[in-house]
Structure 1
Amino acid sequence: AIVMDVAMPEMDGIEAMKVIRKSNPTIPILLSSGYSESELVFGKEQGSQPDVFLPKPFSISDLQNNLAKILSPC
């Protein structure tokens, strides 16, 4: 799984997620931000949504639970 923030230097997390999804569409992605989900524009095309969006601040147990959710087999 990949865990990343929306605000990153060079390329923001949303653009990075789209690039990653093009080369590996099945890799689980957890995206986090201090911005609310409604403030972010993920897009509607396939691969433009994270598996989990985790708003900041979050607890370690929130992170663990969400990672377990996206890493568990269906």
Structure 2
Amino acid sequence: MSDPAFPARPVAAAIRYLSIIVGCACLLLAAICFAIAAQVFIQTGVFAQSYAMVGLVSTVLGLLALTLARVWK
């Protein structure tokens, strides 16, 4: 039997783990951008659209990367 900790296809495992790392990094970037946008809005009353857009794009990319990691075999 094959050990589940040692994948038969190392390239597939590398892609899966890399997509997990990228997905988590994108979601962390999104959280930071939304926090900065909220802080700017609270302090100045001006909506920081650039930070919000970067946060939205980063959220979408992070979720796509994590979905790739989940379905990649």
The TM-score with structure 2 as length reference comes to: 0.29
Q: Which one has the bigger strand percentage? A: 1
Q: Which has the higher contact order (CA 8 A, sep 6+)?
A: 2
